[in-house]
Amino acid sequence: MKEIGDILKQAREEKGLSLKEIQEVTKIRLRYLEAIDEGDFEAIPGEVYRKGFIVNYANVIGLDGPQILQKYHDLKAAQEEQIRQEQLLKEEEENESPKTNLNNDWIKGIYLGVAGALAIVLLISFFLIPSLHNLKTEDAIKPVNIEDNIETSDFNQTLFPAPITITVEFKKRVWVQVIADGESIFLRDGRTFDTSDPVQVWTAQQEMEIKIGDPSGIELTFNGNKLGPLGVEGKSKTVKFRPDGLVAP
């Protein structure tokens, strides 16, 4: 997974941004940003937060967040497949009788060949895509002037520096409108997400209101706590959060 960290780190350094500055903008804890740069995603507690942090980090430095996330999924799948093949090989060797030990090298070669071929194909596709530095999302984030936008403050060094941290996983095409501390995060009319842009992380200091076109199509997590079903399919829902929890179900 080091390839993902290398891409993000290189793009950040080309823009002259430090991890501290990225932390100020994204509200992601510094040590998790360092882990991403190093490709150590296991240091981030929870797959939902790994996905959200990757997307937010990439978007802030001008990359295509969903594109980077897809590459993360591809590399993770290749890694898991290789582990699975090695485990199958180990089990096969343990179950073999002494009479069939002569075939071990042949069987091992097949398993490792399959795993290696899969990994090579994914890595080739990863490095042959056009420069990710020029890719933008449909709603690309405008350039951030760090000096103008960062306020001097002491951030709470926890996983959730903002009092309200909402992580949303989209399971299908869903329209949402998000108002954080009285201001719309997207256009006034909201925005539609789907599985091509599956994870979003939004923060607020005092209050967040989310209008959801189809609540059955999302999974919502508030400050690390995954919420249950928010409503029925096809019936819009509005939920409101404050630092102490859900206000309007």
**pLDDT at residue 98 in the model:** 52
- pTM higher than 0.75, yes or no? no
CATH hierarchy code of domain 1-136 = 1.10.260.40
Pairwise CA distance, residues 159 & 45, whole Å: 9
Q: Provide the residue type at 166 as one letter.
A: I
**8 A C-beta contact, residue 236 and residue 230:** no
Determine which helix (DSSP H) or strand (DSSP E) holds 247, and give its type and residue range.
Answer: strand 245-248
Give the angle subtended at the CA of 224 by the CAs of 218 and 229, to the nearest 5°.
30
Tens-binned pLDDT, residue by residue, of the chain (249 aa): 788 999 999 999 998 999 999 988 888 889 999 999 999 999 998 888 888 899 889 988 988 888 888 889 888 888 888 888 888 888 877 776 554 554 556 566 666 666 666 666 566 655 555 444 444 444 444 444 433 433 333 333 334 446 788 888 999 999 999 998 888 887 667 888 888 878 888 888 889 999 999 999 999 888 878 888 888 888 999 999 998 888 865
**pLDDT at residue 159 in the model:** 44
**pLDDT at residue 133 in the model:** 47
Pairwise CA distance, residues 44 & 38, whole Å: 12
Q: How far is CA 20 from the centre of its chain?
A: 20
Taking CB atoms within 8 Å and a gap of at least 24, the contacts of 41-44 are: 41/1, 41/4, 41/72
Token pair, residue 237, equals: 């829902």
**pLDDT at residue 123 in the model:** 60
Pairwise CA distance, residues 52 & 118, whole Å: 26
3-class SS of residue 156: coil
Region(s) of the chain under CATH 1.10.260.40: 1-136
**8 A C-beta contact, residue 207 and residue 241:** yes
**pLDDT at residue 125 in the model:** 59
